[in-house]
């Protein structure tokens, strides 16, 4: 900005209501908002820059000469160029000036939103402050009634005009006026409409345990169902892989039976202790296995096994939380999540970013009570959708409160979650680039790795691509392949072909489809005349869809949401939207195990440990296969111990 500018004619806030939306045009000069108060306050303005270059600062004219000087800036916005800007600081008493100033020519669609909460002299928020006023002696009484909320909304503008008043036409400007190419608003990839036809197809997928024996090595690989293996003696090394278990919730386990063996005659080396287990490569990378060793030195290695049944005792290996709907969460069993929970339930080293619709709230302003607390950018998290809150469903899959005795279990029990509303073009909504920059900033401030969940299609911009490209070490992006049933991926999932830190996720069935028709677990979802999981070049992984999660539903955007769980056929979480958060949650577990991995390494770990489907090896219908948390976590542990 130009620091020689006079502080003349600042635009006062005229705040007479607890929450005020202020609309103004940005012309060729710097632009000031000003107010005077007698107490410290918090100050959290956000400038949604759209596609333009603008900055915000907080300034006090401490020497009283009516000219801004660099030393009088109390806080700068954090980012360069056309990224969204934010300040989070304590604002001192006195006259505070908030300039918003463009740094390049061109149309803008800036939106400035701010939250100010008064503090007493000890720094505590207060309900009893008085005599706080904006410039021109307007009472700022709304600050002291407990609501303490100011919103500035700064929209529009052709900065080359001299007209300071808002231009209605430009307020409603189309993307064509932005001069940077068209921007498609992202839309959730959930399928919320009822199908009109009921034709389903069933395709083949491996359903039998495969056995390989060579020399003294015996390998048995299970299926996506509950498998029972019976130990066969006579080999120096036996390896049993349960793989997924879609039947786990109904009580059926991947089980290794050792009917002739007493547990007292062997040593069991559990993999989930600090240096426990045995590292072995059975063809898809070194992983840590649970090991059973016999007195003669022969050994059994285990992965994806939930139960060991000896002659004298039964040992259960997986984690079973007390959430009552866990038994319906076949999506967790088929992806090995309860097995992976033995090793981690998430750590503070990871931030999970959810760019979606925001979260539905009830009449008290609360989110679904089975969701953990989340980080928000002001009130951007509020979901303006009618009917149902897509973001609430996504959040629940990844991070519902687990083992809390209610509802469902989330995949990640502990890591930070940040919800940002990017859908609908509502006041305060971010675009993908702005939201992503905010998430990266948050993760950097905490030294965290970042997994970004985008259960949506559309909204890709060059600015967003640049953020993906520039953060390939520490930010992993998980996208929906799309629901159009086509042989090419939706945007931005197609970025998975280009970037090592982008994962494109398609959707597969469990044992039944939407109509209750039997399906082979791990079959690509495709309905005639309704929806199908997009596939093709770049598809990385597949994951379940059509399962239970947290819900928030209401009759209109103006009424509060009601909370629940989408447990019945009419409101199960549908579409590739549901598949993405499965992968996001599992990726967050991988980074919780080993935060030193790059995002590309996490993608590689998930890919090489997936359960292969379709034609052997990578294919464009299933990518590397269905994600498996147990095998992936075991691979990450091996890497963390220095294995290749
Ligand atoms: Ca199995
Ligand atoms: Ca729960
Ligand atoms: Ca919105
Ligand atoms: Ca395959």
> What pLDDT was estimated at residue 571?
73
Could you write out the DSSP letters of every residue in 244-310?
--TTGGGT---EEEETT--GGGSEEE-TTSTT-SEEEESSSSEEEEEEEE-TTS-EEEEES--EEEE
pLDDT per residue as tens digits for the range 278-332 = 999 998 899 999 999 999 999 999 999 999 999 999 999 999 999 999 999 999 9
Mean pLDDT, to the nearest integer, of 155-165? 29
What pTM does this model have?
A: 0.73
Asked whether the beta carbons of 392 and 551 are under 8 A apart, the reply is yes
Give the C-alpha separation, 608 to 240, whole Å: 18
Residue 1's pLDDT band (cuts 50, 70, 90)? very low
pLDDT per residue as tens digits for the range 480-530 = 999 999 999 999 999 999 999 999 999 999 999 999 999 999 999 999 999
Asked whether the beta carbons of 151 and 19 are under 8 A apart, the reply is yes
DSSP SS3 for 340: helix
Residue 386's pLDDT band (cuts 50, 70, 90)? confident
Give the C-alpha separation, 511 to 499, whole Å: 33
Mean pLDDT, to the nearest integer, of 455-483? 97
Ligand nearest to the CA of 246: 1
Using only C-alpha atoms, the chain has a radius of gyration, in whole angstroms, of 28
Greater confidence, 142 or 238? 238
Which of 63-67, 349-353, 475-479, 551-555 bottoms out in mean pLDDT, i.e. has the lowest? 63-67
Residue 5's pLDDT band (cuts 50, 70, 90)? very low
Find the 457 Cα to ligand 3 centroid distance in Å: 15
Residue 38's pLDDT band (cuts 50, 70, 90)? very low
Find the 413 Cα to ligand 1 centroid distance in Å: 24
Find the 315 Cα to ligand 3 centroid distance in Å: 48
Find the 7 Cα to ligand 1 centroid distance in Å: 70
Ligand nearest to the CA of 326: 2
Residue 635 in this model has a pLDDT that exceeds 80: yes
Mean pLDDT, to the nearest integer, of 580-604? 98
- Please, what sign has the CA dihedral across residues 577, 563, 550, 357? positive
**Phi, psi (degrees; rounded to nearest 5) at 587:** -60, -40
Residue that is written with structure tokens 């509950």 in the block: 226
Give the C-alpha separation, 543 to 341, whole Å: 18
Give the C-alpha separation, 140 to 145, whole Å: 10
Instruction: Encode burial over 3-31: b for 16+ CB neighbours within 10 A, e otherwise.
Output: eeeebeebbbbebeeeeeebebbbbebbb
Find the 71 Cα to ligand 4 centroid distance in Å: 62
Find the 616 Cα to ligand 4 centroid distance in Å: 4
Which of 66-70, 265-269, 550-554 bottoms out in mean pLDDT, i.e. has the lowest? 66-70
**Phi, psi (degrees; rounded to nearest 5) at 387:** 75, -75
Find the 323 Cα to ligand 2 centroid distance in Å: 5
Asked whether the beta carbons of 508 and 626 are under 8 A apart, the reply is yes
**What residues does the ion ligand 4 have nearby, CB within 5 Å?**
612, 614, 619
Mean pLDDT, to the nearest integer, of 385-390? 92
Asked whether the beta carbons of 468 and 479 are under 8 A apart, the reply is no
Mean pLDDT across the chain, nearest whole number?
Answer: 80
**Phi, psi (degrees; rounded to nearest 5) at 15:** -85, 105
**What residues does the ion ligand 3 have nearby, CB within 5 Å?**
384, 421, 424, 426, 429
Ligand nearest to the CA of 616: 4
> What pLDDT was estimated at residue 115?
52
The continuous run of DSSP H or E covering 434 comes out as helix 432-446
Mean pLDDT, to the nearest integer, of 141-158? 30
């Amino acid at each position: 900005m130009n620091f020689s500018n006079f502080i003349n004619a600042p635009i006062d806030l005229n705040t007479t209501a607890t929450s005020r939306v202020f609309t103004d045009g940005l012309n060729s000069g710097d632009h000031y908002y000003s107010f005077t108060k007698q107490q410290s306050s918090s100050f959290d303005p956000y400038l949604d820059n759209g596609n333009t270059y603008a900055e915000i600062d907080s300034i006090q004219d401490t020497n009283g000469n009516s000219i801004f000087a660099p030393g009088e800036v109390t806080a700068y916005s954090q980012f360069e160029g056309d990224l969204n800007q934010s300040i989070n600081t304590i604002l001192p008493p006195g006259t505070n000036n908030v300039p918003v100033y463009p740094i390049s020519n061109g149309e803008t669609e800036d939106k400035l939103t701010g939250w100010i909460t008064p503090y007493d002299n000890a720094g505590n928020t207060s309900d009893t402050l008085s005599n706080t006023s904006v410039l021109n002696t307007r009472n700022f009484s709304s600050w002291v009634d407990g609501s303490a909320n100011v919103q500035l909304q700064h929209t529009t503008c052709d900065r080359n005009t001299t007209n300071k008043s808002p231009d209605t036409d430009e307020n409603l400007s189309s993307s064509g006026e932005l001069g940077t190419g068209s921007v498609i608003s992202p839309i959730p990839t959930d399928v919320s409409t009822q199908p009109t036809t009921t034709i389903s197809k069933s395709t083949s997928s491996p359903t039998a345990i495969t056995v390989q024996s060579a020399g003294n090595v015996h390998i048995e690989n299970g299926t996506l169902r509950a498998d029972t293996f019976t130990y066969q003696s006579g080999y120096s090394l036996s390896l049993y892989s349960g793989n997924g278990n879609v039947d786990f919730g109904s009580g059926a386990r991947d089980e290794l039976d050792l009917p002739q063996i007493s547990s007292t005659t062997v040593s069991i080396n559990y993999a989930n202790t600090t240096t426990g287990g045995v590292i072995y490569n059975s063809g898809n990378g070194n992983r840590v296995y649970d090991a059973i060793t016999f007195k003669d030195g022969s050994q059994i290695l285990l992965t994806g096994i939930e139960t060991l049944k000896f002659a004298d005792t039964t040992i259960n290996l997986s984690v079973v939380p007390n959430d009552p709907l866990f038994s319906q969460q076949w999506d967790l069993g088929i992806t090995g999540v309860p097995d992976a929970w033995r090793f981690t339930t998430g750590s503070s080293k990871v931030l999970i970013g959810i760019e979606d619709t925001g979260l539905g709230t009830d009449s008290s302003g609360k989110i679904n009570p089975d969701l953990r607390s989340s980080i928000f950018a002001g009130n951007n998290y509020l979901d303006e959708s009618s009917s149902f809150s897509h973001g609430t469903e996504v959040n629940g899959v990844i991070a519902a409160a687990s083992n809390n005795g209610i509802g469902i279990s989330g995949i990640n029990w502990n890591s930070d979650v940040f919800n940002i509303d990017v859908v609908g073009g509502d006041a305060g909504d971010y675009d993908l680039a702005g939201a992503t920059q905010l998430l990266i900033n948050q993760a950097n401030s905490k030294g965290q790795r970042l997994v970004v969940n985008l259960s949506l299609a559309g909204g890709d911009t060059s600015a967003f691509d640049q953020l993906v490209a520039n953060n390939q070490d520490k930010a992993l992006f998980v996208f929906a392949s799309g629901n159009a049933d086509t042989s090419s991926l939706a945007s931005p999932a197609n970025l998975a072909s280009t970037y090592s830190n982008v994962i494109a996720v398609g959707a597969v069935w469990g044992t039944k489809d939407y109509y209750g028709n039997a399906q082979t677990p791990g079959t690509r979802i495709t309905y005639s005349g309704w929806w199908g999981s997009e596939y093709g070049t770049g598809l990385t992984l597949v994951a379940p869809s059509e399962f239970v999660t947290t819900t928030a539903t209401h009759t209109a955007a103006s009424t509060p949401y009601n909370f629940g769980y989408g447990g019945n056929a009419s409101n199960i979480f549908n579409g590739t939207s549901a598949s993405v958060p499965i992968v996001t949650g599992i990726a967050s577990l991988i980074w919780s195990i080993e935060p030193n991995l790059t995002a590309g390494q996490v993608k590689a770990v998930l890919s090489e440990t997936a359960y292969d489907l379709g034609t052997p090896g990578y294919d464009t219908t299933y990518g590397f296969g269905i994600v498996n948390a147990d095998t992936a976590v075991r691979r990450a542990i091996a890497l963390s111990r220095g294995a290749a």
